[in-house]
Amino acid sequence: MLKYKIVYSSHTGNTRGLATAIYQGLPAHAKDIEELSEDTRWDDAETYLVGFWTDKGNCPPEVQEYLEKLTDKRVALFGTCGFGGDEAYYKKIEDRVKKIISPDNEYLGCFLCQGKMPMAVRERYQKMMKDEKQKAEAQRQIQNFDRALLHPDTQDYNNAMIFVRRVCE
């Protein structure tokens, strides 16, 4: 049986990058990394590090289904979301996702960081600028979008590795 298994879903490559950094940060024995698919097993490791991109403040449905299958395991979460630097927002996401994890698992914690978003999101914000009532919010969202283009960055990867080493001791 594996000691660690990293399973992730990545929409734009952000979470894949975090998963790779986390894999590199784990001890060099008995570990595996796999992008989530319908063939992904949920019974071949002691500790699962499950990664996701944020979809409307939650993990995507395929990750939810996978988390529901885990029983009697150690589980840590990691992921990316477009809105960054807001610990309260990160906490809301974590709280939603950890509710999916069965209580017979040992929950180890969650690492979230900002990730770049598709250009279609920025285009949506630019359209909002035409409406005076939405202009201030659109400007804020565009600033956040532009900051997100640089994430995850080296510091995010390092923080993810530190998190995993801490929770997987």
**What count of residues does the chain have?**
169
Question: DSSP H helical segments within the chain, as ranges?
Answer: 14-25, 61-69, 87-98, 119-128, 135-148, 154-167
**Residue 78 tokens, joined:** 């990691």
Looking at the fold, whether 64 and 127 belong to one and the same domain comes out as: no
Instruction: Calculate the average pLDDT of the chain.
Output: 94
Name the 3-class secondary structure at 68: helix
One domain, residues 7 and 19: yes
Provide the phi-psi class of 58: left if phi over 0, else alpha when psi is between -120 and 50, else beta. beta
Q: Which pair of tokens denotes residue 68? A: 């529901």
17 and 85 share one domain: yes
**What is the phi/psi pair of residue 122, to 5°?**
-65, -40
Domain count, the chain: 2
The structure tokens listed for 64 are 């939810």
Same domain for 83 and 110? yes
CATH of residue 70's domain is 3.40.50.360
Residues 105 and 127 in one domain: no
In the predicted structure, residue 28 carries a pLDDT above the cut 90: no
- Structural domain including 139 reads 117-150
The per-residue pLDDT for 31 is 94
pLDDT on residue 98: 97
Q: What is the pLDDT of residue 164?
A: 93
Q: H/E element holding 70?
A: none
